[in-house]
Amino acid sequence: MDTRQDTAMIVSGGGFGDIWKGQLYSGTKVAIKAWRASAIDGCSYKTIKHAARELYHWSGMDHPNIHQLMGIVLFKDEYLGMVSEWMDNGNLHEYLRKHPDADRYRLCIHIASGVAYMHSRSMVHGDIKAANVLVTSDGVARVSDFDLSIMSEVVNPAFSESSNPRAGTLRWTAPELLLGEVSKATAQSDVYALGMTMLEVLTGDVPYPELRQDFMVYKAVDSAVVDLLGQELKQPTISWTRA
């Protein structure tokens, strides 16, 4: 691909970098997640090597419910860019707002299948939620944004909490991570986040919708005062077993 392409457009931005919409020489539309050099300044060689190994493993994953990393480029001569297929439907959170009658059970199965495949390859995602799941043109959910959890490990400690890719994910975070009982995401914490994501998909709302601010979620979890049973399902309940 032309890594200096002038036709590429920024579609969103964040504390670490920007997401650009570009294209390959073939005309295929791609998303380029361009991380600013300042996001990894000061990182040790060991940390960078670990991140590179994780990205390599991500690029090797091949599953219909995993959004594949196509490659890594030096974008516009200054950004480390991760290239993947562009999804016109956007993420699952956006998709459900536009398609309220979507088969939510089917989408949950897609996400669970992708996570199971990832865990079978000894990979941990670390930031599962609807906003980090993309939807193909034919309505297939693909787990994405592995690089967010990777960058959370390599980020310069000088960055503020608001620039941390894990900021805003407390509602999906396992209690042991939230309360500092473990230092990093595990397959078990992924399963917890998967459950919270399924709750999000089936109810059409984030976990703990009655708690307006994230710090209130932390206090509720810390006090073991959590009620997830009152959220209304957007799709009628079906039997999970078959005769």
Which residues participate in catalysis according to the annotation? 127
- Sign for the pseudo-dihedral over CA of 85, 70, 128, 155: negative
Instruction: Please report where in the chains the tokens 């964040």 appear, as a residue.
Output: 14
Q: What is the DSSP letter of 228?
A: -
CA distance 158 to 92: 32
CA distance 10 to 12: 6
Strands (E), the chain: 9-13, 17-23, 29-35, 69-75, 79-85, 133-135, 141-143
